């Protein structure tokens, strides 16, 4: 599966090393350059890099403090408690034990057939077993911008961890933490293989999930990355026992576990999706993440901050965890266009110190007042990969007004959320510029993405991916100009 580039990378030298003359040998590589070259070659061997790197390589991992590591170790169990509570909140809302508008918000724009399937009794307690928050370090602390239940980057973080671990770096989760953590989801003794099913929509992630499957096989799991077309359904008419098979590099294999690496909004475009759901309904295959659209909505943050639900969250999470999550999850609101009664306001939302009762009041907000983010909550091709994110203070006032109006108009099909913007703190990092073969420095802001794997109620932190983007970027995500590296444990 290793990818061999058409041309080798430029051999890096330290930026303070004089260029050799035509008659003299190339100067020896400095330690930082050797490390960059080693990481680059490891990523090529893993197949996540071709001859043109997809991001910048740092000679060292992203360094965390002891306090930051403690924060991330504590955060995983807290987010697992939050996920379980969110699932219970939704189900209680359906039964009238919590406000009806909770499930109405979470169901908005979803096909009724999918909702009926997701609400089946056999799936009642099913929760996504991979939790990845996007965390922004700010000058005052950590801020979680969102949770991802179908996250990319598992293979990228795993291959980066393996590459830096081979150089002797002590990493959060360890060199093999991502694979070891992912493997815990599937060790249950059933006959059959693990099928990591990657759709066309998620095609950009196929190479890294190929690497994950390869490493899982090394760890003793019968695991394969497959396309939905590679699945085959069979039913023994004598026993009425449906079964799922996958066409793999080792021949056709019965499937016991499916890791669903595709979005629920895309179900109509995914071959065999109904057969996969039918097999799961009959209990012949376990699918994670479960088909629960309410677990994949960004507006969950708005529910955490809603004053009418404070009692539920306090009872479900405990007062300490509720308070801590309320501090790291930024204030978030559902952009709901429906008119309010004259005496009502949108809780905790103000403009010029005055309470807001109509979202259109924000259309005239100045750039300074628009320190906010507008983004689709979920169940949309715009709701992943930062595609639909609008940073309020990054666009002209007329464009902001138009974006806000679009969000209001989209409510019935794709609800949007309005979230307070928190500016990330600045970091100075070194990277290898493959165009010149020189080490360069960059000032940027970081997004830290920890990967938590849940087996039973045991939460494992497999690793943390740091994505450091140039300082002028408002939306932090994987990009060509970003430095991406695993996070390291404190030194000493």
Tell me, what's the pLDDT at 12? Answer: 44
Tell me, what's the pLDDT at 19? Answer: 44
Tell me, what's the pLDDT at 24? Answer: 46
Tell me, what's the pLDDT at 51? Answer: 67
The residue-averaged pLDDT of 345-368 equals 94
CA 134 to CA 318: how far, in whole Å?
23
User: End-to-end alpha-carbon separation of the chain, Å?
Assistant: 38
- Asked whether the predicted pLDDT for residue 13 surpasses 60, the reply is no
CA 105 to CA 357: how far, in whole Å?
19
Residue count (the chain): 492
The residue-averaged pLDDT of 159-181 equals 97
- Per DSSP, 53 falls in state -
Tell me, what's the pLDDT at 17? Answer: 42
Which pLDDT band holds residue 190 (cuts at 50, 70, 90)? low
Tell me, what's the pLDDT at 476? Answer: 80
- Asked whether the predicted pLDDT for residue 450 surpasses 50, the reply is yes
Q: CA angle 93-343-106, nearest 5°? A: 25
- Asked whether the predicted pLDDT for residue 118 surpasses 50, the reply is yes
Quick one: which of 370, 311, 386 has its CA closest to 134? 386
The residue-averaged pLDDT of 8-30 equals 49
Stronger pLDDT, 125 or 26, i.e. the higher one: 125
Please report the sign of the dihedral spanned by the C-alpha atoms of residue 148, residue 152, residue 155, residue 160: negative
Tell me, what's the pLDDT at 436? Answer: 81
Task: Assign domain 185-288 to a CATH class.
Answer: alpha beta
Which pLDDT band holds residue 472 (cuts at 50, 70, 90)? confident
Quick one: which of 365, 415, 412, 361 has its CA closest to 388? 415
Tell me, what's the pLDDT at 241? Answer: 61
Judge whether 155 and 261 are in contact, CB under 8 Å: no
Tell me, what's the pLDDT at 326? Answer: 97
DSSP H or E segment with residue 487? strand 483-488
Tell me the angle at which helices 206-218 and 154-166 cross, rounded to the nearest 10 degrees: 60
Indicate the average pLDDT of the chain: 90
Quick one: which of 132, 77, 178, 71 has its CA closest to 458? 77
The per-residue b/e assignment along 160-172, b for 16 or more CB within 10 angstroms, e otherwise, is: bbbbbbebebebb
The residue-averaged pLDDT of 10-16 equals 46
Judge whether 37 and 9 are in contact, CB under 8 Å: yes
Query: Which residues of the chain form CATH 3.40.50?
Result: 185-288
What pLDDT digit, counting tens, does each position of 206-242 carry? 999 999 999 999 999 999 999 999 999 987 644 446 7
- Asked whether the predicted pLDDT for residue 21 surpasses 70, the reply is no
Tell me, what's the pLDDT at 314? Answer: 98
The residue-averaged pLDDT of 192-211 equals 94
What pLDDT digit, counting tens, does each position of 52-111 carry? 778 999 999 999 999 999 999 999 999 999 999 999 999 999 999 999 999 999 999 999
In three-state form (DSSP H/G/I as H, E/B as E, the rest C), the secondary structure along 202-263 is CHHHHHHHHHHHHHHHHCCCCEEEECHHHEEEEEECCCCEEEEEEEECCEEEEEEEEEEECC
Tell me, what's the pLDDT at 380? Answer: 85
Q: Please state, for a pLDDT cut of 70, what percent of the chain lies above it.
A: 91
CA 146 to CA 295: how far, in whole Å?
12
Judge whether 103 and 94 are in contact, CB under 8 Å: yes
75: Cα separation from own chain's centroid: 15
Judge whether 26 and 37 are in contact, CB under 8 Å: no
Tell me, what's the pLDDT at 22? Answer: 46
Helix (H, G, I), strand (E, B) or coil at 225: strand
Tell me, what's the pLDDT at 4? Answer: 32
Which pLDDT band holds residue 27 (cuts at 50, 70, 90)? low
Tell me, what's the pLDDT at 59? Answer: 96
- Asked whether the predicted pLDDT for residue 276 surpasses 50, the reply is yes
Tell me, what's the pLDDT at 292? Answer: 97
Cross-strand pairs, 233: 244
**CA 419 to each of CA 244, 300, 447: distance values in angstroms, whole numbers, following the listed order:** 42, 12, 17
Judge whether 441 and 430 are in contact, CB under 8 Å: yes
Tell me, what's the pLDDT at 475? Answer: 80
Dmax (CA) of the chain: 84
Instruction: Tell me how crowded residue 111 is: count the other CB atoms within 10 A of its CB.
Output: 15
- Per DSSP, 56 falls in state B
Tell me, what's the pLDDT at 5? Answer: 34
Quick one: which of 474, 473, 477, 452 has its CA closest to 464? 452
The per-residue b/e assignment along 332-342, b for 16 or more CB within 10 angstroms, e otherwise, is: bbbbbeeeeee
């Amino acid at each position: 599966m290793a990818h061999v580039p058409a041309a080798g990378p430029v051999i890096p030298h330290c930026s303070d090393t004089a260029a050799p003359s035509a008659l003299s040998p190339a100067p020896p590589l400095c330690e930082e350059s050797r490390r960059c070259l080693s990481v680059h070659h490891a990523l090529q061997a893993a197949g996540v890099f071709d001859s043109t790197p997809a991001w910048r390589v740092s000679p060292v991992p992203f360094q965390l403090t002891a306090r930051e590591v403690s924060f991330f170790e504590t955060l995983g169990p807290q987010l697992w408690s939050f996920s379980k509570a969110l699932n219970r909140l939704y189900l209680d809302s359906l039964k009238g034990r919590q406000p009806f508008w909770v499930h109405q918000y979470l169901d908005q724009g979803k096909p009724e057939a999918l909702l009926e399937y997701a609400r089946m009794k056999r799936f009642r307690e099913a929760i996504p077993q991979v939790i990845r928050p996007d965390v922004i370090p700010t000058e005052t602390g950590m801020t979680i911008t969102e949770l991802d239940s179908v996250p990319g980057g598992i293979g990228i973080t795993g291959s980066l961890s393996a590459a830096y671990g081979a150089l002797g770096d002590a990493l959060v989760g360890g060199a093999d933490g991502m694979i070891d953590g992912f493997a815990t989801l599937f060790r249950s003794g059933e006959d059959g293989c693990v099928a990591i099913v990657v759709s066309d929509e998620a095609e950009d992630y196929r190479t890294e999930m190929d690497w994950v499957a390869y490493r899982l096989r090394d760890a003793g799991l019968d695991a394969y990355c497959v396309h939905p077309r590679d699945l085959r359904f069979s039913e023994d008419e004598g026993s009425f026992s449906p079964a799922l098979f996958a066409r793999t590099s080792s021949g056709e294999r019965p499937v016991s576990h499916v890791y669903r690496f595709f979005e629920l909004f895309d179900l109509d475009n995914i071959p065999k999706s109904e057969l996969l759901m039918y097999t799961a309904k009959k209990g012949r295959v376990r699918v994670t993440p479960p088909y629960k659209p309410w677990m994949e909505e960004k507006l969950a943050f708005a529910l955490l901050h809603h004053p009418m639900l404070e009692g539920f969250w306090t009872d479900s999470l405990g007062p300490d965890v509720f308070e801590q999550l309320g501090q790291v999850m930024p204030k978030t609101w559902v952009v709901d266009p429906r008119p309010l009664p004259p005496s009502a306001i949108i809780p905790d939302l103000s403009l010029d110190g005055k309470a807001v009762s109509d979202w259109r009041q924000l259309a005239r907000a100045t750039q300074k007042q628009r320190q906010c983010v507008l983004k689709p909550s979920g169940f949309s091709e715009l709701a992943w990969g930062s595609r639909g994110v609008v940073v309020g203070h990054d666009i002209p006032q007329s464009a902001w007004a138009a974006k806000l109006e679009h969000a209001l108009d989209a409510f019935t099909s794709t609800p949007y959320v309005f979230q307070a913007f928190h500016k990330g703190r600045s970091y100075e990092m070194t990277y290898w510029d493959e165009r010149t073969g020189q080490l360069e420095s960059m000032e940027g802001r970081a997004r830290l993405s920890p990967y938590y794997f849940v087996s039973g109620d045991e939460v494992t932190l497999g690793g943390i991916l740091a994505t450091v983007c140039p300082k002028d970027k408002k939306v932090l995500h994987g990009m060509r100009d970003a430095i991406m590296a695993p996070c390291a444990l404190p030194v000493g």
